[in-house]
Amino acid sequence: MSSQRLLACGVRFAVLFALTIGLSGGLGAAQPAAEQPAPPADDPAALGSETTVGPDIEQILQGEEEVLSGSGTGFTYDPGNRRDPFKSLLVEQAAREFRGPRPEGIPGLLIDEIDLKGIWQTGTGADRVFVAQIVASNQKKTYLLKERDQLYDGDVVSINKNEVVFKQIVQDPTALKPFREVVKSLNPS
């Protein structure tokens, strides 16, 4: 509540300052404003007429109070696919389940949890297809992968004689691309 009052006081000060600048001719006025002669005291028409410049200060302050109190249209924010600016980039986020619970089998495997054990070629010529044998380190099970197989955090891009290339989805707000290529080789060098 005190921050709203402080903001309201700041807005009032800014409005009064702007009105003062507007009445005096601006900050950089080279010549002082010429003094107007005071109306004669015996003229009743001159006593009742005051010249007002700009909007009524009370209307402005009333409008500011409505905005600060939250009455009216309300405030909404659309992040537009941008990261939350109030979450620290330096604190590593805990591993989160970004697609729900992990299913069984190949669709539930993480790229970091698998080890490449072998690659086989099936077919010849244009029908040649490579198949990769992997072992899931957390399950101690063996699976066979083909190109375009979907894993939990990515998919298989290509398989050749010596390596398998994965496209891993990255949940890092500082990364330029939302994915990275991970290469697992038969003979790591």
Residue 65: pLDDT over 70: yes
Per-residue pLDDT band for 15 (boundaries 50, 70, 90) equals confident
Distance, in Å, from the CA atom of 8 to the CA atom of 14, rounded to the nearest integer, reads 10
pTM (2 d.p.): 0.48
Helix (H) or strand (E) holding 181, with range, is strand 179-185
pLDDT digits (tens, 9 = 90+) for 68-124: 766 556 566 677 778 777 777 776 555 444 567 888 899 999 999 999 999 999 988
Q: Which residue segments constitute the domains of the chain, with CATH numbers given?
A: 2-69 (no CATH), 106-185 (2.30.30.830)
| Contacts for 173-181: CB closer than 8 Å, 24+ residues apart | 173/83, 173/87, 173/89, 174/89, 179/154, 181/157
pLDDT digits (tens, 9 = 90+) for 146-175: 999 999 999 999 999 999 999 999 887 787
Radius of gyration of the chain (CA): 35
User: Minimal CA–CA distance to 146: which of 165, 159, 128, 163?
Assistant: 159
User: Which residues, in sequence order, are bridge partners of residue 122?
Assistant: 129
**Percent of the chain at pLDDT exceeding 70:** 70
Residue 178: pLDDT over 80: yes
Distance, in Å, from the CA atom of 84 to the CA atom of 86, rounded to the nearest integer, reads 5
Residue 21: pLDDT over 80: no
* Non-local CB neighbours of 50 within 8 Å, separated by 6+ positions: none
Convert 129-165 to b/e letters by CB count within 10 Å (16 or more is b): ebebebebeeeeeebebeeebebbbbbbeebeeebbe
